Structure 1
């Protein structure tokens, strides 16, 4: 992101990149805004957000999707909270997702986030749009990285190792999809030997 002009651009960050120094740099050095996901790898902040009186806060926006064998409903709540323990954080966000996939039990998921955008700059409806755009990438890339490769649970967080591992995972995901696989785990299972893995990436 360093060479890019990010003035007034919103940058969405998954849990792995929700780091105080990163978010501060986006705002102070790049004049950007952020929407950052908070998961349990930030246990103090996650517990603080989970403990907010969400039952007293009205749902700001609700969206529903139906197609490709699944139904999904997402409700978002946003609240201006003073003294959030992250630089420039202005609002706390809670997204509740209910999903039913054909022939499977319905699932519920609650996600938390923070943003440097104030309520005057972005209310719940606009934040819901931003979050949905972020989760489109999440479903295509980061969900696969987390569930299939265990990226969020990785203990490698120093130096250039996380970035290098992310590049390797991305290359594997891209190669499996290019080979025609719809499901990444299936593609991995078909390429567990060194020879099969090299063939997948086009090495003779």
Structure 2
């Protein structure tokens, strides 16, 4: 099971392994600063690249490199391997970008090959692009000023409903779909209201 950094919490990881008998691939971002710092400080330059994936399409080039290190002294439940993923991305008409993502997994090297770990990480990235990126960038969820009560959850539900409805209507691009339905009448028609 792979998930967003928000769920990279000791109790969640322990629950998955002990109670659900499941494996995890957990991304470490700035919500876990000690874990992220520990992972970033590993001697990655001495560790060989275990997997390289290249993709082209939709005006984008992307290369992902994955390095894996066995860890036995990490202060996170059941962690067996540390992972570093380097992403190089170039979108047509834009400057190339680089990103480094760190993760941990309880799966040992015998249980999960670098190719499998790369596929799991890619699957999580696909979820982030399809859902989180759309909510954060297209709908501006991160800049929302609603922070109390049930407001944020209700707004997130509305945003997800709009995005899912646009996809169901055949729109591949959520921003373009929103532009096509910016009048009240078009928006109501999209959601099936007379």
* TM-score scaled by length of structure 1: 0.78
Q: 1:69 aligns with which of 59, 69, 72?
A: 59
Q: 1:28 aligns with which of 12, 18, 21?
A: 18
In 2, the alpha carbon distance for the partners of 1:13 and 1:83 equals 23
| 1:77/1:146 CA distance change after superposition, 3 Å | farther
In 1, the alpha carbon distance for the partners of 2:138 and 2:76 equals 30
CA contact (8 A) 1:16 1:152 kept: no
- Count of aligned residue pairs for this structure pair: 194
Alignment of 1:15-164 (within 5 A): 15-149=5-139
Secondary structure, in 3 states, of the residue corresponding to 2:2? strand
Q: CA RMSD in A?
A: 3.0
| 1:91/1:46 CA distance change after superposition, 3 Å | same
Per the TM alignment, residue 66 of structure 1 is displaced from its structure 2 partner at its CA by: 1.7
Structure 2: state its 5+ residue gaps: none
In 1, the alpha carbon distance for the partners of 2:141 and 2:2 equals 17
| 1:66/1:189 CA distance change after superposition, 3 Å | closer
RCO higher in structure (CA 8 A, sep ≥6): 2
* TM-score scaled by length of structure 2: 0.81
| 1:28/1:173 CA distance change after superposition, 3 Å | same
